Amino acid sequence: MTIRDTALRTLAHTNWRLALPALLLLCGSLIVRAASSDPEVVVPTTAPTTAAIGPNGELTPAPSSPDAASAPAATPPLARSPQFPPAVAPSPATSAAPIAPTAPTPTVEAAAPLMKLPVNARHMLVIDDSGQVLMAKDADAVVPIASLTKLMTAMVVLDAKQDMAELIRIDDADVDRLKHSKSRVKVGATMSREAALELALISSENRAASALARHFPGGMPAFELAVEAKIRALGLRHTSLADPTGLSPTNTSTASEVARIAAAASRYPAIARISSDKSSEVAVDGRPRELRNTNHLVGAKGWDIKLSKTGYTEEAGRCLAMRMKSGGRTITVVLLDTDGSAQRLRDASLIRKSLSKLAELT
C-alpha cells in the first residue's frame, strides 16, 4: 500500500488530527518526487572529491576511508542559491587509487560536483588545486588546442637544461607554411634561448617556438621523442602533439588534460614568471623588442594570474589556459573553442565573478 493510499484511508476513517501525520508524510513524498523530476534540482549522493593536482600536474585522488565504501551516502537537501545553479552529483569513481602515468585520465563527469554557467566556449574546465572540479562543459572531448601546445614545448625545452643565454637563429624551416601566420621575427634573426622562450609564451611567436624545438639536443626528432615522453610522464591518455607551435590541427587534447598540462607548467618558475608578465622586452638581433601578453587579462585590475597561455587556429577556435588566485586558492581555468577573443574574455570574466561570489557565500 502506498503512502497516498494510507493517508486517504486514514482520513476517511478517523478525524483530521489522527490523519495529520500521514498527510505530512504524503506532502514530503510529493516534494521529493517533484524535485527529482525537475532538471534544475539534483540531490547529491556522494561527497565531493578530495583529489589534488600533484607536482607533475597529475590529478591524484585521496584514498577513501575503510568505512566509506560500505556506508550509505547521505542525501541532505540541496539549498538553491540565486547566484549558482545546483551541483551535479559526483561519482564514487574518484576514490580510486592515484593515477599512474599509464592509467586513463578520469573524466570530469566522474570527478566532482559541477556548476553550470552560460559560457561561449564549447569545452571548459575550472578546477582548484585540491582537485575539486568547480565548473565544466564537455571537458573530456578531444579537440585541437592550438598554441596551448607551447606550454608543453616550454616544459620540454627547460627539462633539457640548455644554456638559456645561448644564441639561436630563426631559420627558413621555422616559417609557417601550413597556416601562413604572420611573424614579427624575420628569417635569419638571432636571439637568446630565453628570449625565444619569452617570444613563444608571451607573444605566442610560432617561429620562436619552432626554433626552440630545432635547437633541442638531437634536433627536432629528439624534441618530438621528448614530448612523447613528457605526455606519458604526465599520464595524458588523450593528448597528441605533432608540432611545437600548435599550428597543426592534429595537436589535440581535452580541457581536462590541458588543465593538467597547465598545472605541471606552473611548477616551472620560468614559465610561471614569463607567462604572467603583462609585457616584457627582449633582444632580437641585439635590438630591444617589446612584447605584450596575448591574454589581455594579465595585469588587469582584479586579476591575479599566475600562468597564462592563449591559442587560436581556425580548427581550435579561441583557447585559453590560465591559473589564477581566487578566494585564497589557486584555480586552473581552461577554455577551448570559443567563438572570438571578446567571448573568451567574457567567459573568463564570468567565471572569475562567479568564483568571487562563491567565496563570499562560503
Q: Which residues are catalytic?
A: 147, 150, 204
SS3 225: helix
8-state DSSP, 174:
G
Residues β-bridged to residue 168: 191
Q: What are phi and psi of 61, to 5 degrees?
A: -65, 145
Q: Positive or negative CA dihedral for 138, 141, 134, 354?
A: negative
Measured CA to CA, the distance from residue 327 to residue 289 in angstroms comes to 36
Measured CA to CA, the distance from residue 257 to residue 105 in angstroms comes to 8
Other residues' Cβ atoms within 10 Å of the Cβ of residue 23: 15
CA neighbor of 251 nearest in space, from 352, 175, 168, 178: 178
DSSP one-letter string for 131-155: S-EEEEESTT--EE-GGGHHHHHHH
The H-or-E segment that residue 304 falls in is none
Residue 117 neighbours by CB under 8 Å, 6+ apart: 135, 350, 351, 354
| In the block, residue with C-alpha cell 508524510 | 25
Measured CA to CA, the distance from residue 245 to residue 254 in angstroms comes to 17
Measured CA to CA, the distance from residue 222 to residue 11 in angstroms comes to 82
Residue type at 5 in one-letter notation: D
Judging by beta carbons within 10 Å of its beta carbon (0-12, 13-18, 19+), is residue 358 exposed, middle or buried?
Answer: middle
Q: What are phi and psi of 321, to 5 degrees?
A: -130, 125
CA neighbor of 308 nearest in space, from 272, 336, 267, 335: 272
Q: Taking a C-beta distance cutoff of 8 angstroms, is the pair 210, 244 a contact?
A: yes
